[in-house]
A and B are shown apart, each in its own frame.
Chain A
Amino acid sequence: MNPEEAAAKPNPIEQFELHRLWPFEINGVETSFTNASLFMLLAALGVVALMVLATSRKAIVPGRVQAMAEMLYEFVAGMVRQTAGTEGMKFFPFVFTLFSFILIANLIGLVPYTYSVTSQIVVTFAFAVVVISLVVLYGLYRHGFGFLNLFVPHGVPLPVLVVLVPIEIISFLSRPVSLSVRLFANILAGHITLAVFGGFVVMLLGAGVWAALAPIPLLAIVALYALELLVACLQAFVFSVLTCVYLNDAIHPGH
């Protein structure tokens, strides 16, 4: 295709391209600072601004942002306490960092011309690997081989166990995959959908009489955007709730 025609055609994948803003490598491993890194940094700074700067006054009667920080704190604390018990509260800082980072990254990614950090499978998979490693290591540290009881449900007759244990093992092994793919695919699909509908608007506008139909996909974008806001929050929540559930398995391996 010729360049002009190509330039006119919207590309929903382009938004996921990585651009090396500061290319360099360490020991032959590429560690360039990319646009993804930039938005990771922005998400982290957003969390810091909310949790550190806004709470610096330590006001008894909180301002708006401090109230938000407290709400987030209590929300995550409640979630960890409910799903992983009071013992799970030792993982509260980790779950909180995970939740707030994913949430802010997802929300920042919804601003046009930004980059969605969580739309990269490598990022979500890295999170999932950290979570599962934490579960396995803490479970072994805490219960030794008793942790393997996780795969042996209580009060199930032996013949059923023969079938059930492999299923439990497979389900455990598939956790990092499902955990990472769920977040990645939701964010990726949402952003592609938004870009595709945006492309429809552009194409319709460039198609003579059909330009009259252009507002339809535009309205669809508005609706989809609302849905994506929900998805951004919901997926951050789902990721952290599942993290808590898995950590609960490590704390109390017997079902």
Chain B
Amino acid sequence: MAIISSAFAAEGEQTTHESVGAGEAHHEGAFPPFQTENFAPQIFWLVIIFGLLYVLMSRIALPRVGGIIENRGAKIAADLGAARDMQSKAQAAAAANDENLRRRRDEAQAIGRDAQHRIAAETARQRALAESQAGEKIRAADERIASAKTTALGNVEQIAVDAAAAIVEKLTGAKIDQSALAKDGATSSH
């Protein structure tokens, strides 16, 4: 067969010279994958190697890789769950904070309003007090003025009486009773 390798044919010749020469026919005629003498050794080693590989894969490698993938899935799921928990907690905390803030603001506003009212009331009270005190003083002063006026008017009469008496004495030389003058003056003036 021309297609068969020269190199191998030569090699084959050498081996056939050395060995029994039974292989010669196979090497010359058969296409290597179809040489039946090649079947047994290949199957023998294939069974051993593939069998061992199967045992290694099914006992060690595949459970391990499956475990790795499962672990990762579980870890990711757990982490996602934890993250979701955290998120809902954060949202709850934010809502509580908002609520708290709102309440505090209301409180602050109420306190502010109260303080304003209290201050307004206090101011009003103080003003009323001050006004009443001032009114009191004004009244007292009015009274004092009125009494001073009365006194002053009373003195004017006395002076008039004294003057009249003095005038009468000067003119007549006679002493005159002041009380009579005052009475007259009082009567005449009335």
Residues of A within 8 A of B (CB): 1, 3, 5-7, 9, 11-14, 16-18, 20, 26, 29-34, 36-37, 40-41, 44, 47-48, 51-52, 55, 58-60, 62, 66, 69-70, 73-74, 92-94, 96-97, 100-101, 119-123, 126, 184, 188
Flag B48-64 by CB within 8 Å of A: 1 or 0 each. Answer: 01101110111011101
Q: How far is the CA of A17 from the CA of B34 in the complex (A)?
A: 10
Lowest 10 CB-CB distances: which A-B pairs, in order? A6-B6, A11-B5, A93-B58, A51-B61, A37-B45, A14-B5, A16-B32, A31-B44, A44-B53, A122-B39
Flag B16-54 by CB within 8 Å of A: 1 or 0 each. Answer: 000000000000000111110111111111110110111
Q: How far is the CA of A72 from the CA of B165 in the complex (A)?
A: 149
Q: How far is the CA of A217 from the CA of B4 in the complex (A)?
A: 22
Flag B130-151 by CB within 8 Å of A: 1 or 0 each. Answer: 0000000000000000000000
- Residues in A with CB closer than 8 Å to B62 are 51, 73, 92-93, 96
Number of chain B residues whose Cβ lies closer than 8 Å to a Cβ of chain A: 44
A contact patch SS: helix
Q: How far is the CA of A1 from the CA of B9 in the complex (A)?
A: 11
Interface residue B75 (Cβ < 8 Å from any Cβ of A) = yes
By the criterion CB–CB under 8 Å, are B42 and A120 in contact?
Answer: yes
Interface residue B71 (Cβ < 8 Å from any Cβ of A) = yes
Q: How far is the CA of A47 from the CA of B31 in the complex (A)?
A: 30
By the criterion CB–CB under 8 Å, are A33 and B45 in contact?
Answer: yes
By the criterion CB–CB under 8 Å, are A29 and B44 in contact?
Answer: yes
- Residues in B with CB closer than 8 Å to A47 are 53, 57
Q: How far is the CA of A86 from the CA of B31 in the complex (A)?
A: 43
Q: How far is the CA of A78 from the CA of B173 in the complex (A)?
A: 158
Q: Which of B45, B57, B68 contacts A70 (CB 8 A)?
A: B68
By the criterion CB–CB under 8 Å, are B38 and A11 in contact?
Answer: no
By the criterion CB–CB under 8 Å, are B10 and A6 in contact?
Answer: yes
- Residues in A with CB closer than 8 Å to B4 are 11, 13
Query: How many CB-defined contacts (below 8 Å) exist between A and B?
Result: 150
Q: How far is the CA of A36 from the CA of B8 in the complex (A)?
A: 17
- Residues in B with CB closer than 8 Å to A70 are 65, 68-69
Q: How far is the CA of A179 from the CA of B115 in the complex (A)?
A: 96
By the criterion CB–CB under 8 Å, are B68 and A188 in contact?
Answer: no
By the criterion CB–CB under 8 Å, are B49 and A37 in contact?
Answer: yes
By the criterion CB–CB under 8 Å, are B56 and A11 in contact?
Answer: no
Interface residue B174 (Cβ < 8 Å from any Cβ of A) = no
- Residues in A with CB closer than 8 Å to B64 are 52, 55, 58
Q: How far is the CA of A123 from the CA of B34 in the complex (A)?
A: 11
Interface residue B67 (Cβ < 8 Å from any Cβ of A) = yes
- Residues in B with CB closer than 8 Å to A32 are 41
Question: Contacts A40-B45, A69-B65, A101-B50 hold; do A11 and B6 have CB atoms under 8 A apart?
Answer: yes
Q: Which of A52, A123, A184 contacts B60 (CB 8 A)?
A: A52
By the criterion CB–CB under 8 Å, are A18 and B42 in contact?
Answer: yes
Chosen A-B contacts, 7 in total, with CB atoms closer than 8 Å, are: A13-B31, A16-B32, A33-B41, A44-B50, A52-B60, A184-B33, A188-B33
In the assembled complex, the CB of A70 is this many whole angstroms from the nearest CB of chain B, namely 6
By the criterion CB–CB under 8 Å, are A93 and B54 in contact?
Answer: yes
Q: How far is the CA of A188 from the CA of B57 in the complex (A)?
A: 28
- Residues in B with CB closer than 8 Å to A1 are 6
Q: How far is the CA of A69 from the CA of B68 in the complex (A)?
A: 11
